[in-house]
Structure 1
Amino acid sequence: MREGARLIYTARMPVRWGDMDAYGHVNNTVYFRYFEQTRCEWIEQMGFPVSPKEEAGPVIINASCTFFAPVNYPASLVIKMYAGEPGRTSVMTWYELFVEGQDKLYAEGAAKTVWMDNATGKSAPLPDELRALFDNAAG
């Protein structure tokens, strides 16, 4: 994990049969969905609805994933989300993906999350409430 990154949230979710591909393991694109769901759960539990109907909200401007071992159905996942210090309009996030009950790291990812004004489509300052909650966030 990146230096200075803090664990801010841990999500648990099942691997669905439809998550697999023709090779019999979770398709590489689905890992991005797991990270997205983790990010949305974190933001919503902080009190910020993830919805285009809101005045502003989070979007990502880049994402990456490194795959270390294939995940197969059935499995329950544990996704740990970390974040760096928030900037004016964004925060860098990192993810570690494990199969529940195992210490083995199956994948790790990253995404830069930007707060966006939904009316203009331009970046907006992170809300003060989010900054205050971020300082108190725990996994």
Structure 2
Amino acid sequence: MSITPAFSCTLPVRWGDMDAYNHVNNTVYFRFFEEARVQLIEAVAGGQIAGRDDGPVIITANCTFLKLVVYPNDVRVDCYLSDPGRSSFMVRYELFAASDPKDPACTGDSKVVWVDHALGRSVELPSYIREKFS
């Protein structure tokens, strides 16, 4: 992507992330996305999002696998925010292996809906999230 990411983080590839084919298992990429997304939202919120009355819920998650990632390695996940709605937004991801930092190993996206946990329904995005789209 040609724009600056809203957030970027580096995560370690662990030995246990590998599968029988000696590369990172496909399910782990979603964990990398999850960790980057949580770090992004906590950075924007100025603290922990766990234990709040409201928060993000993922309703879609997609990943396109482009290259193998193997241990030992680190990955960088760049997050881009787009498509803000009343209660939702998209997070798009590019994941790069430290061993090949110029070409993404995978890309993906998630639709995030802000939910009131007690009511079990969507609510308006908090101002600190909405401000990221200004």
Determine the C-alpha separation between the residues in 1 that align with 2:4 and 2:109.
Answer: 13
Q: Which ranges of structure 2 fall in alignment gaps of 5 or more residues?
A: none
Determine the C-alpha separation between the residues in 2 that align with 1:61 and 1:85.
Answer: 14
Pairwise CA RMSD: 1.8
The SS at the match of 1:63 is strand
Matches within 5 A, 1:106-125: 106-125=105-124
Determine the C-alpha separation between the residues in 2 that align with 1:67 and 1:76.
Answer: 17
Q: Percent same amino acid among aligned pairs?
A: 45
Query: Normalized against structure 2, the TM-score is what?
Result: 0.91
Query: Normalized against structure 1, the TM-score is what?
Result: 0.88
1:43 matched to 2:45? The reply is no
Deviations along 1:85-111, one digit per CA (max 9) or x if unpaired, are: 421000011100001252121000110
Question: How far is the alpha carbon of 1:48 from its aligned partner?
Answer: 5.1
1:24 matched to 2:22? The reply is yes
Deviations along 1:68-92, one digit per CA (max 9) or x if unpaired, are: 1110000011110011142100001
The SS at the match of 1:50 is coil
Determine the C-alpha separation between the residues in 2 that align with 1:119 and 1:102.
Answer: 42
The aligned residue for residue 64 of structure 1 is: 62
Determine the C-alpha separation between the residues in 1 that align with 2:85 and 2:4.
Answer: 15
Aligned length: 132
Determine the C-alpha separation between the residues in 2 that align with 1:34 and 1:55.
Answer: 25
| Equivalent residue letter for 1:15 | V
Determine the C-alpha separation between the residues in 2 that align with 1:65 and 1:107.
Answer: 7
Determine the C-alpha separation between the residues in 2 that align with 1:57 and 1:24.
Answer: 36
The aligned residue for residue 102 of structure 1 is: 101
Q: Which ranges of structure 1 fall in alignment gaps of 5 or more residues?
A: none
